Homo-oligomer: A and B are copies of this chain.
Amino acid sequence: MAGRRPGQTQTRDDILAAARNQFGQRGYNGATIRGIAAEAGVNPALVHHFFGTKDQVFVAALNVPVNPAVMVELITQGPRDNIGERILGLFLGLWRAPETRQTFLALIRSVANNEQVAGLMRQFLEQTVVGPVSKALDLPPLRLTGAASQAFGLAMARYVLAVEPLASATDDEVIALYGPVFQYYFTA
């Protein structure tokens, strides 16, 4: 934490930022090392130099400081009667912060076109989300996949497709619209 590190740091971070943006805009398949390098203002070979293969660049770019286990904790701990609104609050907050927003966009776009990423996401949902939350809240797993599907659809419609009037709605309007739905999914 004391003193700044020499040279390298800046370029490396530039590449990482460019990667997050490119993967977010185009997904794994659509983004290119060359595109990332161009946006970062460096040579394509440098991207490989710092992060290795495209796979590894992807992992590095998406390694954002959001701990899923903590999120699950936050959700399962609080009062049950407003769990829908609480989840939406967390969700919308993550979509408001640029870093997590880019991460989520990248994941959605990649899941839709890349079998490998889709496999990872499926595993993550089944093992880290649906399983634990189902036990913690004593809900049928099917209910939680319902909630997950609505979260996916909301992200898709509001942030990827940007269909109106949903895209321009305020966060409060979104909470009012989707609150009852998530409350339903989390009520036995």
Contacts and interface: CB of A to CB of B under 8 A. Distances in A.
Interface of A: 26-27, 29-30, 108-109, 111-113, 118, 121-122, 125-126, 130, 141-143, 145-146, 148-154, 156-158, 160-166, 169, 173, 177-178, 180-181, 184
Contacts of A149: 150, 153-154, 156-158, 166
Given A29-B113, A109-B113, A113-B113, A145 B163 contact: yes
A6 to B, nearest CB: 39
Interface secondary structure of A, over-half rule: helix
- Oligomeric state, in number of copies? 2
Contacts of A153: 148-154, 156
A158 B150 CA distance: 12
Contacts of A118: 160-161
A122 to B, nearest CB: 5
A45 to B, nearest CB: 25
Contacts of A162: 122
Contacts of A30: 29, 113
13 contacts: A29-B29, A122-B163, A126-B164, A142-B165, A142-B169, A146-B166, A148-B153, A149-B150, A149-B157, A156-B156, A180-B184, A181-B184, A184-B184
Nearest to A118: B161
Which of A30, A109, A156, A184 has the most C-beta atoms of chain B within 10 angstroms of its own C-beta?
A156
